Structure 1
C-alpha cells in the first residue's frame, strides 16, 4: 500500500485518512521515503520540514479521537522556497538569504495548514524566483523526472518535479509570467494561476511588481486544484490586491445550464509554436467539441497588435529593479547568480515607453474583455515546445529562432491582464515528454475553467501519467 500512496491525489489521500484506511503517519512516511529514494537524482527538495512526522502523529490522534477534520487533514504538501514557512528555512534561492527562518507562515501556507495539510518540504527555484529554469548558487539545479537532462522549468520547477516524481501530492508555487503553468507543462502535472488577487501574496518575496505576481496550487488532478483553491482564495486583510469576495464552489465537473462556448488558438499573438504542441491544442479543442461544447478556432486582435511579452518586459523592469537593488546592495559579487546580475544590468525603461506599455496593457485587457463577451473559455498552448535541455538560450521553433524568454509568450498575457489560467496535460511528444494545454477564463471565472479542465481530464488520451524514475 505504501508505494500506491505516492501517486494518489490529495483528495483521495484525504478520503483514505478520514475513513481510517490509512494513517497520516503512513502517508507522510511514504513521501519522506520517496524523497530519500529519488531526490538525489532530481534535486527538487531544498529543506525537509523537521516536524512533518510529528504533525502527522498529531493528525492521526485527531482522526482516532473523532474530532472534526479539515478537507486536507493529514495530507502532506510542499511549498516553493520563496514562500515563508514558520520555523522552516525559506532561502529564496540565494546565498544572501542562506539560513533565513521566518517566524510566520505565508497566508497560503497557513490556509493549507488550517485545512489540515502537513508541510512536508520546501522546493527549489531559480535565484529570487527569476528564470525559466530552477537553478541557483545555494541549492543547485533541479532536473526533470521525465528526462534528467532536461529542466522541470522555472520558477516553480522544484515544485513541479517533486509532484511529478511522487515526492508530494500537492504544492504551492508562484507565478510572475509563467512560473506555475510552465513548470507544470514541463513535467505533466496540473496547476492554477487564479485571477490576480484571488489568493493573497502575503509572506512571499519578491512581490514587485505586485500586480503581476500570483501564488497558486500545483497538483496531479483537477479536483485537487479546485479543493486547494477553495481553501486558498479570499482576502486576508494584508494584501490589498487580495480583495475579491466572489464566492467559489470547490465542486467541478457539473453540467452547465447551456453549452459552453470555447475558442482555441495557437498563433498569431504568442510567437512560433512547435507543430506537436499545436496539434495537442487542436486535439483538446476537438475533444471538448465531441462532449457537446461549442468550440471553434479564434483570433484575438489585441494580442496581434501588442505583443504581451514586450509589454510585460517594459513594465516590470522598472518596477522590479528597486527591490533587487535594495536586497543586493553591499553584497559580494560571488553571492549573486546570473539572473540577478542580468536583471540589475538591464537599462531602465524610459517614461515614454513605460506609459506606452501601460496603455498597451489596457488594450490587452480590453481585447480579452471583448473576447469573453462571446466565449466562456479559451484553449491555448502553455509552452511552444516540450521540456528543453538544461542551459539552452535560443530555440528553433517551427522555422523561427527565438530566445528563451519567448517560452513565456502564451502565459505572460494572463499576468499582464490578471486573467486565470489552468495548465494541464493532454498530449505526449515524440520523445515521450508531456505536452500541456492552457485553459483561460474571464476574471473571477475559476469555476468555469475548472469545469472545462475536468471535462478534458475525463477524456484525456494520456496513459503514461508518471515518469519511471
Structure 2
C-alpha cells in the first residue's frame, strides 16, 4: 500500500502549500451556467430521423419486427461472446419482451417500442446481480429496476442484458481482472475505455441501438472516444440516480446514453427526462471556446491533429472559434485527495469483510484514502470550488467549449499496467464531473494507425438540449464529405 499512500500524501502536501483564497464563503455545488449571448436564436424543428427513429418507422410500417431486431442483436452478441462485453446476456427475457412488443397495438407504442438496448452493470436491473464488475457484489441481486431502467421499459425498450465494466467502475480501461478485458471492436488489441467499456463496445457492434452508462470522471465519454461512438453526460441531477451503485459521495456520478448518433442519444435523454422542444441543429454564429492552457496542451500529436481538423470543420460550417482562459492544471490532480477519501468510506466495510474479492491494485488504491486528514479533505473541496469557478469563467460569452475527449489514443490492453498514458485518459473528462455541466463525445476521426479519436463538446448547465442540437450540427460538419 505504500506507493498509493505516498502519492496521496504528496498531493495533500501540495494542497497545504497552495493558496486557496481565490474562492471564499461556504462550499457550494451548482452546475456551471454561463452567460451566452445566443440563448434565443434556436427554432423548434421536427425530430430528425436517426437509426432508432428509422427502426421505429420500419416497425410501424410492418417492414421489421421487434423480434427480428432483437434476434439480430443477440446473434451479434453470441458472435462476440469471448469479448467480455456482457456480465448478463438475458436472451430469453429479451425475446419474450420483443414478442410482447410485437403484439402491442400501434396506438400504445412508446418512443422506444421494440428497440434493443443494454444497461451497464452498476445500474440495477430487477432479478440480476448488480456486480459492478466485482465478486464483492456477486450476490447483490436487484429487487427492483433502477429509475432509468424502469423508464426505458415504460418507453417500450427491450433490455438485452447488462454490460461489463472496469472493476467497481473505478478506472478508465475496462480491463477487469474478474470479468475480462472488454475488446474494442474499432481498435483490436486496444482498450475499450472505462468504465463503461462494455456499453461502448456493444453500441459499436450494433448489439442494441444504445446503452446506458455511468460517468463519475469520464466513464461514458472515454469509452465513446475509444470505440468511435457518441457518449453523452447530462447535467448533474437531470437524470435520476436511484438504483445506481455510487462511486463517490460527491456530486460526480451521472447516468447517460451511449449511441451511434447524436439523434439517438438525444432521444434517450428525452425519454429519461421530460421531452423538450427540439432545437435547430446549426453552427451558424455559434461561439466555440478553445481552452488552450489545459485542454489543448500536452496532447498526443496525432490526437491533436484530428481534433484541430474537427474544429476547423465546425468553423467552416459557421462557428466562430475563440481561445479562452481555463488554467486548472495545478488543481485537478489534487482533487484525488477527496475522491480517494470518499472511496475509502464507501468501500472500507466491504474490504474489511472480503479483502480478497478486490484486486490487489484496486484494494491498495481504496485503502490509501484512509490516510487522508480531515483538513486535507476540506482543502481538496476548496480546490474543487476553484476549478468550478475557473471553468465557469471560461464559459462566459461562449456557447460551448471544445477539446479532445482524451489527450491520448486508446492504449494497448497488454500495456495497461505499464503505459503511463493510462493516467492521462481522464484528464479532459473529469473536470466536467466536478462542474456538473453537460458534455458529449463525438467521433472526430482516427489516427493514421486507425485508432478512434473523440471530440468533446461542453455546454452550459441545464442547456442539455441546446448542447445536443449543437453536437448534432457538429456531427454533420464532421461527416465524411461534409
TM-score range, shorter chain: 0.7 to 0.9
Does structure 2 retain, via aligned residues, the 8 Å contact 1:230–1:250? no
**Residue-by-residue CA offset, 1:157-181 (whole Å, 9 max, x unaligned):** 1111111112221001111101000
Q: Higher RCO, 1 or 2 (CA under 8 Å, sep at least 6)?
A: 2
Look up the match of 1:221.
Answer: 261
Counterpart Cα distance in 2 of 1:444 and 1:311: 27
Does structure 2 retain, via aligned residues, the 8 Å contact 1:212–1:416? yes
Displacement over 6 Å in runs of 4+:
none
Does structure 1 retain, via aligned residues, the 8 Å contact 2:115–2:208? no
Look up the match of 2:89.
Answer: 48
Q: Which segment drifts farther, 421-430 or 451-460?
A: 451-460
Counterpart Cα distance in 2 of 1:147 and 1:254: 30
Look up the match of 1:345.
Answer: 368
Counterpart Cα distance in 2 of 1:17 and 1:419: 36
Report the Cα offset of residue 459 of structure 1: 2.2
Summarize the alignment of residues 295-444 of structure 1 with structure 2, pairs less than 5 Å apart: 295-301=321-327, 303-304=328-329, 306-308=330-332, 310-336=333-359, 338-346=361-369, 348-390=371-413, 391-393=415-417, 395=419, 402=420, 404-444=422-462
Report the Cα offset of residue 248 of structure 1: 5.2
Does structure 2 retain, via aligned residues, the 8 Å contact 1:427–1:462? no
Report the Cα offset of residue 210 of structure 1: 4.0
**Residue-by-residue CA offset, 1:438-464 (whole Å, 9 max, x unaligned):** 00011111122212211121122459x
Look up the match of 1:15.
Answer: 57
Q: Label 1:332 to 1:297 Cα distance change in 2 as closer, same or farther (>3 A).
A: closer
Counterpart Cα distance in 1 of 2:275 and 2:98: 29
Q: Label 1:324 to 1:274 Cα distance change in 2 as closer, same or farther (>3 A).
A: same
Aligned partner of residue 329 in structure 1, secondary structure: helix
Look up the match of 1:108.
Answer: 148
Look up the match of 1:147.
Answer: 187
Q: TM-score, normalised by structure 2?
A: 0.84
User: Is 1:168 matched with 2:208?
Assistant: yes
Report the Cα offset of residue 328 of structure 1: 2.6
Report the Cα offset of residue 406 of structure 1: 2.0
Report the Cα offset of residue 209 of structure 1: 2.2
Query: 5+ unaligned residues in a row in structure 2: which ranges?
Result: 1-49
Does structure 1 retain, via aligned residues, the 8 Å contact 2:337–2:376? yes
Q: TM-score, normalised by structure 1?
A: 0.86
Does structure 1 retain, via aligned residues, the 8 Å contact 2:411–2:421? no
Counterpart Cα distance in 1 of 2:275 and 2:334: 31
Counterpart Cα distance in 2 of 1:429 and 1:77: 29
Does structure 2 retain, via aligned residues, the 8 Å contact 1:270–1:409? no
Does structure 2 retain, via aligned residues, the 8 Å contact 1:266–1:278? no
Look up the match of 1:447.
Answer: 465
Q: Which segment drifts farther, 174-183 or 160-169?
A: 160-169
Does structure 2 retain, via aligned residues, the 8 Å contact 1:384–1:407? yes
Does structure 1 retain, via aligned residues, the 8 Å contact 2:331–2:387? no
Q: Label 1:147 to 1:281 Cα distance change in 2 as closer, same or farther (>3 A).
A: closer
Counterpart Cα distance in 2 of 1:316 and 1:377: 27
Q: In structure 2, which of residues 240, 247, 251 is the aligned counterpart of residue 200 of structure 1?
A: 240
Aligned partner of residue 459 in structure 1, secondary structure: helix
Query: 5+ unaligned residues in a row in structure 1: which ranges?
Result: 1-7, 234-246, 396-401, 464-469
Aligned alpha-carbon RMSD (Å): 2.1
Does structure 1 retain, via aligned residues, the 8 Å contact 2:262–2:471? yes
User: Is 1:249 matched with 2:276?
Assistant: yes
